[in-house]
Structure 1
Amino acid sequence: MLALAALPAAAQADSVSAVRPTARGPFIVGAYAQGSFVVAHTYAIRHLANSHPTGVEVNLQRQTTGAADWHGWYRYPRLGLALTYYNFHNPQLGHVLAASPYISKSFSRGPRHDFNFRLGAGLAYLTNPYDRDTNHKNNIASSAFNATLQLRFEYDYALTPHLGLLMGLGLNHYSNGATTKPNFGANLPALVLGLNYHEQRNAPLANANAPAPADVGHNFLNFSASLGYKQRTESDLKKYVVNSVTAAVGRRINRKSNLLAGVEGFYDRSLKATLQDTTRAGLRQPDVKKLGAFVGHELLFGRLAFVSHLGFYVYAPYKSSTFYYERLGLKYHATDLLFGAVDLKIHRGAADVIEFKIGAKL
């Protein structure tokens, strides 16, 4: 404890240099307990918001050290993988297992403390999904495999040079993006308490003043196509294909951000099926294809980007949704030319479809 307390706060800053370190940073292993409750975010799931789920989590993190230029631009975040288990204590909901890669950004870091925000996304397995015959009350999730999103504020206090006490407040979200219905999704606010083992609490850092990328201030073009599928209603078990094509112009405005604007076309085959069920015989059916215009932002982490778009339908003869849409997603550049993305398209907070996208940047 005395040796830890005597470590000057400036030691970490003094270690920052222009030398590029090796890619491997010190690791942190954590084990935490979690307590939660199910948020009744819509009246339809109030009958399921009657228990207090409990869970455990183990995770492995690595401290970035400047091996990539973007490490310094974001003040050396940590990258990790969390494995989470929850018992809903509700026979309709059962249990959930989830794996979530994440990034942890520090707000305040000193010799004995670290206050950070953590954001992760991954895959979850729910043991008791909706079944029309055996589990019809579970309208939160109708598929075993779901996407998961983790948001968390964490405070780590050093008990010894290598052992830290962690306290956190966060949110776990589970949803299948409307690929199967019903799908109201689960939101679990969580109190977190546990321990972290630090291989090295204050890692040597470098490359803090890495030069800006050469493409800052340059324009580019993006062309992409996507494929998704969705279920129309609980009674119609068929999966309908949803396609889109996108053309956008963008500009890298600084080290961390791209701004974009573009147009895109959508073809949702579930809308055609709905029209066939609801239109009187002999009447002309409106076109279900839609054309949208959008503006967007990409938050850059090397080859990875967090994507957010706001779009408006400029051609939509069939009024099946709101006049605007949002999109959140992750995009990865495999090369300077080719990229892939997984996006969630949303209408007024409700998931519309998960889009699997490939494209090119010119």
Structure 2
Amino acid sequence: MKFIALFIAFIFLYLNTKTLVITFFKQISLFFLFLIVVCSSFGQSKYFLETELMGGKIVPNYSVNFPKSTLQTAFAINLGSFNTDTSSWARYYNFPETGLAFFGSNLGNNKIYGNQFSLSPYIQFKLKNKKNPFYIKLAIGASYFTTHFDSISNTDNVAIGSGFTWGFQAFLYKTIYHNNGLHLRFGGGYSHASNGHTQLPNFGLNSGLLSLAAQFYNPKKEPKNLLSVSKQKSKSIFINFRQGIGFHELGGTAEPIGGTKREVYTSALSLGIIFNKHLKVRTGFAYRYYEQYNNYIVTTQNADYISAPKINSSNIYFFIGSEFLMGHIGLDVMGGLNLYKPFYKEFNTVYEKNEGPTYYLKKLFASRMGLNLYLINTNKLPQHNFFIGTHINANFGQADFTEFNIGYHFQLN
């Protein structure tokens, strides 16, 4: 009942997003509610606690006047669970660990960057089933920065333009010590934060970090001999429809500052195959309408676009996507080819000023990544299913807007 109540609450807020996007705080509240729903789906009987100490450095991602910083120090507290149910999605992914990570970091320059705090669902894959294995950990969630760009007091921080951002981490670990109730792991990886172009400036902040992690657990609940379970092969054909509403500021990565946030509306239809109940591959077409583009055309009376402002504010693209299904959760990635996006030429001329291959890559290719939450466990292959999601969308690799989605899944066989 808790899961259903949270699901209904999210849909209610989603349907009222038109009024919620007035302020950034209200927009972020939707994302935090989604995180709560995601975390509630991780309930398992086999829990562990993992602590991490980290050190590293901010990696410059632009060349002019990048602020200096000293050693970045960080810690993480991970509350997770072993997934050992041989009849569930976990078998397909070699019984990974899942959980919720709290991450805190001093970024090495208190005046400009301050401190970062993140809350992220994560999944940790074991690469080999041996005594001291390697692990890959992926986490995506929300971050809060105590210091960010300010047009008066902090003009040097063009990396982080808002207090709340997306947070993403990818780490590789090696188990260096194993004993009853304790795993010690050493690893390193990449940490990224960006607000998805919802508030400028937004170059994003990247860090390289080394980690020493200690996992504490009940040795009686440690999973053993799970690879002996065979995997069943299957294929299922499906149709997906989703409706999205996003928001962003009009401008380049660095400016203009303080612009109005407006909506991006998306409708997408796709056909695909679910392999072995857990890998969802699809292809289809999507239509987008940018309120920002329409407002710009009407306000400036731009001669190239004013004859049909709504049509010239539209975007049609073909896409191919894959989704990794884990019960109620889906990790969703997509790449697309823009078939029609006339205003991008003007957008680039005024704001980005890219030339040559960089311009054409951003004009032609769209990308998208995020999380979906399904009403019915996808492992059951239901004929009808509904989902909600939150994604970051990009022009090639450059953030375009942040989006919330609601969708319908229909299985044909």
Q: TM-score, normalised by structure 1?
A: 0.85
Alignment length, in residue pairs?
335
- 1:26 CA drift (Å): 3.2
Question: Against the structure 1 CA distance between its residues 280 and 353, is the aligned structure 2 distance closer, same or farther, given a 3 Å change threshold?
Answer: closer
* Distance (whole Å) between structure 1 residues aligned to residue 77 and residue 319 of structure 2: 40
Which residue in 2 is equivalent to 1:315? 340
Q: Secondary structure at the match of 1:170?
A: strand
Which residue in 2 is equivalent to 1:6? none
Q: Secondary structure at the match of 2:313?
A: coil
Which residue in 2 is equivalent to 1:337? 385
Which residue in 1 is equivalent to 2:189? 170
Counterpart of 2:336, as a letter, is G
Counterpart of 1:156, as a letter, is T
Which residue in 1 is equivalent to 2:261? 239
- Give 1:1-362 correspondences, 5 Å limit: 24-44=44-64, 46-66=65-85, 68-90=87-109, 91-111=111-131, 113-158=132-177, 160-200=179-219, 202-204=222-224, 208-209=229-230, 211=232, 216-233=234-251, 234-276=256-298, 284=306, 287-319=312-344, 320=347, 322-335=363-376, 336-362=384-410
* Distance (whole Å) between structure 2 residues aligned to residue 52 and residue 280 of structure 1: 49
| Conserved? CA contact 2:298–2:306, under 8 Å | no
| Conserved? CA contact 2:297–2:306, under 8 Å | no
| Conserved? CA contact 2:328–2:374, under 8 Å | yes
Counterpart of 1:208, as a letter, is V
Q: CA RMSD in A?
A: 2.3
| Greater helix share, structure number | 2
Is there any run of 5+ residues in structure 1 with no aligned partner, and where?
1-22
- 1:102 CA drift (Å): 0.6
- 1:25 CA drift (Å): 4.5
* Distance (whole Å) between structure 1 residues aligned to residue 76 and residue 275 of structure 2: 38
Counterpart of 2:123, as a letter, is I
| Conserved? CA contact 1:59–1:81, under 8 Å | yes
Identity %: 23
| Residues 169-196 of structure 1: per-residue CA shift (max 9 Å, x gap) | 1111111111111011111110011322
* Distance (whole Å) between structure 2 residues aligned to residue 187 and residue 252 of structure 1: 34
| Greater strand share, structure number | 1
Question: Against the structure 1 CA distance between its residues 315 and 24, is the aligned structure 2 distance closer, same or farther, given a 3 Å change threshold?
Answer: closer
Question: Against the structure 1 CA distance between its residues 302 and 205, is the aligned structure 2 distance closer, same or farther, given a 3 Å change threshold?
Answer: farther
| Farther off after superposition, 34-43 or 65-74 | 65-74
Q: Secondary structure at the match of 2:179?
A: coil
Higher radius of gyration, 1 or 2: 1
- 1:276 CA drift (Å): 4.7
| Residues 144-172 of structure 1: per-residue CA shift (max 9 Å, x gap) | 11110110011223353222322111111
Q: Secondary structure at the match of 1:109?
A: coil
Question: Against the structure 1 CA distance between its residues 282 and 126, is the aligned structure 2 distance closer, same or farther, given a 3 Å change threshold?
Answer: closer
* Distance (whole Å) between structure 2 residues aligned to residue 358 and residue 164 of structure 1: 40
| Residues 273-328 of structure 1: per-residue CA shift (max 9 Å, x gap) | 33356555798456111111112222222232222222112222323451221111
Which residue in 2 is equivalent to 1:13? none
| Residues 243-290 of structure 1: per-residue CA shift (max 9 Å, x gap) | 111111122233331221111111111122333565557984561111
* Distance (whole Å) between structure 1 residues aligned to residue 113 and residue 91 of structure 2: 43
Counterpart of 1:266, as a letter, is R
| Conserved? CA contact 2:200–2:258, under 8 Å | no
